Structure formats: C-alpha cells, structure tokens
Structure 1
Amino acid sequence: MARNANRYTDHDVEHYDRPRRRTRPRTKERPSYDEATEGVVVTVDRGRFTLIVDGREIWAVKARPLGRKGVVVGDRVRVVGDVTGADGSLARIVEVQPRSTVLRRTADDDDPVERVIVANASQLVIVTALADPEPRHGLIDRALVAAYDARMAPLLCLTKADLADPETLLSTYRSLGVPWVVTQRGGDLTELRERLAGRASVLLGHSGVGKSTLVNALVPDAGREVGDVNAVTGRGRHTSTSALMLPLPSSTGTPGDDGWIIDTPGIRSFGLAHVEPEHLIEAFPDLDEMTEDCPRGCTHGEEEPECGLDAAVAAGEADPDRVASFRRLLAARSAPLY
C-alpha cells in the first residue's frame, strides 16, 4: 500500500499538536545598539557583572548574542537596558571592546586552557613580603614572565620592610631593570601612589603578603578582609575570593580619573604553558638583538649549544648577570611555584 504523504488526518490529535515549522525568514542583520552606553567591568560573580557607567555602579548580565565570549574584570563594554543603578535594575552587556592587554594564566604548566585574569591593565604590581611569609622567588619570576608576555609594565612592591632588609631580594632582580617600591605597615605610601597614578594596575601575590592591607590603605572605603599567616605552614589565608577593580581616590570626583587598582585572589597556581620563549625575549630588546644568529628553534636557555646569548657574554657584549636572570625567567615557566 502506498504510503500516505500526509501522515496525520484532520481526525488525529497529532495534526493539531504538532508544532509548525517557522516561516519567518532568517536575516544576517543584527541590532546596531547605537544607543548603548559604555562602561568598565569591576567585578564578576557567577554570571553577574558589576560595572561603572558614567560614574555610577550598575549591574548587568551578558547578552545571548555574545555566546561564550568571556567578560572579565577590566573589560570595556557597551551595555543596553536599565543603567540607572537603582535597586533591582539590570542591564545587558552587548559588546566587549578590543582589549589593549590581557593578563592570563593556565591552571598548570601542562594545561592547554588559558584563563584570562584581567583585561586592559597596564601595570602588574607583584606584592611580596620580605618576611612572614618568606619571599618565594617562584611566584615573582612567573609573574614577571606573565607581565612581559602581556606587554605590561612590572613593579615589585616589597612589604613588611620593618621585618627584613629588602636588599637581599632586590639584588636578585636588579639586573633585569625591574622597578620597585618598599613599604611597611603604617608607613608612607607616597612613592607607591605615584607609581599607580593614572594607570590600571593589577596587584598579584601570595596570601598573607599584605595585599589587602595595601588596598585598604590606598582606597580607604575598600573594606577588603585582611588575613593572617599560618604559623605552621608559613602561608597566608586566602581572603580575596574574586578580582575586584577599584578606582583610586580621584581629584576630579570621577571614578578612575586618577587610576585603578585590581585586587586579585591569593595565588594557588600560576601556569605559564601559553608563554613561548620568543615572546618572552622580545620584552628585552637588547638581548633579543643578540639572538638574531641563533639556530632555528633555539629557546635561548642554558642548555642550548649555539645560543647567541652565550656568544655575546663571551665577547663582553652582554651583562652575564642579566643573561642569567633572563634564563631564570625562562626556567620559571615550569619551575615549582613555591
């Protein structure tokens, strides 16, 4: 028997319940969002975003057309909807502006998945205690690698100078030309404020090094929780659970006019699987120039047999301490964090 082309008749229930095919033609045209307002993302919490728009704090969600495109602290975005900031109001993020810098990490050194920490920051402030807890070169070196890879200016901020002499640590990094400031609890922060003025700076460090104490001193109404150092492990308790972008006190009254600081959670892991040696050495133009005649595939590490850096040191054209420091950064990509 020939099969009936119309499977269901007017007497079948399925004839009425079966959903009809959409007849509306598809279009490639998308909304222009000409009336969208610009803002900056200052916190991210379980799919909800806090933004600063026209000097006021508002809340937003990501619009569906953005798909899986990530939105992180520091992103400059365009939003539509209710941008009054009133209780219960909610806007939609419809566009993420191009990023000038991206600070990223992988969970582990063999993890291929990169995680963006902060966008559009120009300076990475590596906060390290000189004692209690003891400084850990692993994080400092890895943070420097991340900063150079992201084309961000690094700054060493050495805290608790009342407990130890900073010179021991500084001697390790002086050949790299990394700038530094030294602070102590209750001390003068004028030099640090000058380094932060007019920039978006990320504060990064192990728990217990005084990061939240600095934030509270720089932004008096920040209210960041301060933790203690465990007497047994020598490690601090994690008090910051998510990145938070705060405007520094402004002389104009407009948030952000005098700079921003981004407080990040205490570091548990900081993988650098995404960093390639050729990208790292580009941050050191004087050394990069000396590697022009290196064999193809040279990583510029200590074990390379014909690296141009070795030839430059032998000829007296390169500072051996600077070359050694650069190679230590190379090795830090896979060295232990602690």
Structure 2
Amino acid sequence: MRRRQYDEDDVRVRPGRGSRPRTRRRPAHEDAVQGFVVAVDRGRYTCLVRGAGRRDPDVTVTAMKARELGRKGIVVGDRVSLVGDVSGRPDTLARIVRVEPRTSILRRSADDVDEVERPIVANADQLVIVTALADPPPRPRMIDRMLVAAFDAEIDALLCLTKADLADPGELVALYAPLGVPHVVTRKGGPLDELRALLADRVSVLVGHSGVGKSTLVNALVPNAGRAVSHVNPVTGRGRHTSSSAIALELPEGGWIIDTPGVRSFGLAHVSVETVLAGFPDLIEGTVHCPKGCTHLGAECALDEWVRAGHALPARLESLRRLLASREGALEPDENGPMG
C-alpha cells in the first residue's frame, strides 16, 4: 500500500487565544482634534487644545499614546491629533492617534560614544543657550556643543548671558562675536525687554547648566509659571536640578518658551563629523587645506596654521578637538570646562 502524501491543505492551524485577524487599514479618526504637547510625564501627555472660537476657552487634556503609533516617540512641542474624551475634566483620558510632521527636532545623546539619540523638544524655532557669567562660571565647551546641536536641528541659536551683575560679559561676547551668534545680557532684577522681543511669536527652548538662572528667567517671563529656583553649591560650583522634565509655557506677548532640566552633559554621538565641523563656522573654512582623511587631531591638520594666521581663536580649535577626541573615546567629555 502506498503511503499518503501530505501537503499544506492537510494541516489545520488553530489560532491562538485572543488573536484576531490583522489588517493594514487604520481608522481615519476624522473627528480628531488638534493638540500641542506641553508636558510629558511617565507615559502621560499634557496637551493644549485651543477653543473653537474666541469665547471658547482653551482646554488642557491628559492623553496616552494609542497602540497603533507603536514605538513612535512623543516629546514636548509635538503637534498631535487626539480622540476620545478631550473635555479636560479630571480623571479623563484621551488618546494620541497621530503625530504631525515635525519642522525640527532637538536631540542629544547620553555621551559622545552612545549613539542612541534622545529627542528633547520638537518644532522649536530657536535654541536659547542660557549661561551664567559667574556662579557658576561660563563653560564655553558646553556652549559649543549646543551650537552644534542647534545647527544639526536647523534652528536658530541665541546666547543668553545671565548674572551680569556678578561679572562682565565682554570676554565671552568677544569669543562668540566672530560667529555672528546673537546674544542678550541680563542681570538680577534688570529689564527683560530685549529678551522678550527676541522670544516673541517663536517657539524657543531654553537649555543650560543647573544654576545658571533658567527658572528665574522663566518666572520673570511667565509670571504664573511657578518654576522652582535652584542654588549653586559653593564647593562644586554646580547647581541642583530643580526641573525633572521639559515643559512648554505660553508667553503673554505671544510665542512659547520650553524650559528643560539643567544638563551637565550634552552628547553628540548621533551627529556626523561633518555636522560637528559645520557647527564651528570660524574653523570649517580652514579644513579645505587639510590632507585627505584628516581627523583634525594630528600634527598634519591645517587648522593650526589657520589659527596662527588669526582666522580663529585658539580656544575654539581646542574646543573642537576635545569634542572630536571625546567622540572617538580618546578623551572623557569635558563640557564643564570653565573659561580660562
């Protein structure tokens, strides 16, 4: 007797428990309302939904991410579509079903060898680099890193120098004057009219070390913000973290500021070497004379002659090389290096 030949038609596959047919069709969510993410906290997203008319008040809605978004991250500044209960009443929860295309994304990595990028803020127009002139002292190498991050995100940079009542801003202003980076100087209790004008009608993200005065600025710009103010440790010269997450606040005169937690490192492992060099516009022109494959770390690099010729300051070349060496793992990150 011939043995029976089996094929796939003889096999019956039983679906597992709880399984259901998959489909590529997704609901259109035509009734979704538009929201703006102003805060993120442990998987819950606080979104601002504008009123439909002048008499309709804005509503603050708490939402969670819909499963259909998968691993797509959502950060402060994202513009999203919401469904479900968008009344904003206590103990209600909406769902974010769509994230609109971003105009920009500001990112950093944990350090210079960790290539996992961490989005900070979406859709910002301007990066405000807040640095104190004293207590704690300014750290140009951190400023340089943030300028590279702004270039990578394709957003404008603004240097905000605080505590001018404690130190003269002239040295730091002179260091960045060749780059054409705009700056504003503030002092304790002083007017903020110039800063307000530069922030008006824009989405600006404030980034800086702990203790440089970010929260003080935010409280002055948005009177009801209520941001906690940190104090600088007299021994370490570092501030204490007072903000644990980013938050977007609407300015009375129009526009938004996004306050971020104080940072002690700003990794750029996710940024290409070409972009890093482009973030040093006073040096990049000198690299055209470098030999092919130049790492800009060795004696063959033409940037030394570029600096000797007076086209850039030595401190800028040192900052670039420390950054590049840190990316290669040949040097510990030194974002905290003060001036001098």
Name the Cα RMSD after superposition: 2.6
| Contact 2:141/2:319 (8 A) holds in 1 | no
Matches within 5 A, 1:216-227: 216-227=219-230
What are the within-5 Å matches in structure 2 for residues 91-240 of structure 1?
A: 91-240=94-243
Instruction: Determine if contact 2:37/2:75 at 8 Å carries over to the other structure.
Output: yes
Residue in 2 that maps onto 1:40:
36
Shift of 1:238: 0.9
Deviation string 1:19-52 (CA, Å, 9 cap, x unpaired) is 8767964322111111111111110000000011
Show CA shifts across 1:138-170 (max 9, x none). Answer: 221211111111111111100010110000111
Q: Is contact 1:74–1:118 with CA below 8 Å preserved after alignment?
A: yes
Alpha carbons 1:126, 1:143 under 8 Å: kept: yes
In the alignment, structure 1 residue 61 sits paired with structure 2 residue 61:
no
- Quick one: distance in 2 between partners of 1:140 and 1:50? 30
Q: Counterparts of 2:19 and 2:265 in 1: how far apart (Å)?
A: 52
User: Is the Cα contact below 8 Å between 2:230 and 2:242 reproduced in 1?
Assistant: yes
- After superposition, give the CA deviation of every residue in 1:240-274 in whole Å (9 maximum; x if it has no partner): 11101111114xxxxxxx21101000103211111
CA contact (8 A) 2:38 2:47 kept: yes
Answering whether residue 300 of structure 2 is matched by residue 305 of structure 1, we say yes
Q: 1:280 to 1:110 in 2, by over 3 A?
A: closer
Compared with structure 1, are the counterparts of its residues 232 and 291 closer, same or farther at alpha carbon in structure 2 (3 Å cutoff)?
closer
Structure 1 equivalent of residue 334 of structure 2: 336
Assess if the C-alpha contact under 8 Å between 1:176 and 1:322 holds in 2: no
User: Cα 1:20–1:62, aligned 2, differ >3 Å: closer, same or farther?
Assistant: closer
What TM-score do you get using the length of structure 2 for normalisation? 0.82
- In 1, distance between residues paired with 2:92 and 2:182? 44
How far apart are residue 303 of structure 1 and its match? 3.2
SS of 1:194's equivalent in the other structure is helix
Name stretches of at least 5 consecutive residues in structure 2 with no aligned partner: 1-13, 51-57, 327-332
Q: How far apart are the structure 2 equivalents of 1:59 and 1:137?
A: 39
Separation in 2, partners of 1:125, 1:29: 42
Aligned pairs, how many?
309
Counterpart for residue 11 of structure 1: none
TM-aligned CA deviation for residue 292 of structure 1: 6.2
For residues 228-307 of structure 1, what are the structure 2 equivalents within 5 Å? Answer: 228-250=231-253, 258-282=254-278, 296-299=292-295, 301=296, 303=298, 305=300
Structure 1 SS opposite 2:38: strand
Contact 2:306–2:312 under 8 Å retained in 1: no
Range with greater deviation from structure 2 (85-94 or 281-290) = 281-290
Paired letter, 1:337: E
Q: Is contact 2:148-2:280 (8 Å) kept? A: no
Give the CA deviation at 1:60.
0.3
What is the alpha-carbon distance in structure 1 between the residues aligned to residue 113 and residue 163 of structure 2? 34
Whole-angstrom CA distance in 1 between matches of 2:19 and 2:41: 39
Residues 154-193 of structure 1: CA distance to partner in whole angstroms, max 9, x if unpaired? Answer: 1110001011000011121111111100001110101101
**Percent identity of the aligned residues?**
61
C-alpha distance in 2, partners of 1:330/1:199? 34
TM-score normalised to the size of structure 1? Answer: 0.83
Q: Please name the residue that 1:81 is paired with.
A: 84
276-285 vs 106-115, which deviates more? 276-285
Q: Which amino acid aligns with 2:256?
A: W
- Aligned to 2:312, what secondary structure does the other structure show? helix
**Conserved 8 A contact 1:106-1:270:** yes
SS of 1:215's equivalent in the other structure is: helix
Alpha-carbon distance in 1 for matches of 2:226, 2:15: 55
- What displacement does 1:285 show? 7.3
How far apart, CA to CA, are the structure 2 residues paired with 1:118 and 1:106?
13
In the alignment, the residues of structure 2 paired with residue 222 and residue 89 of structure 1 have an alpha-carbon distance, to the nearest angstrom, of 24
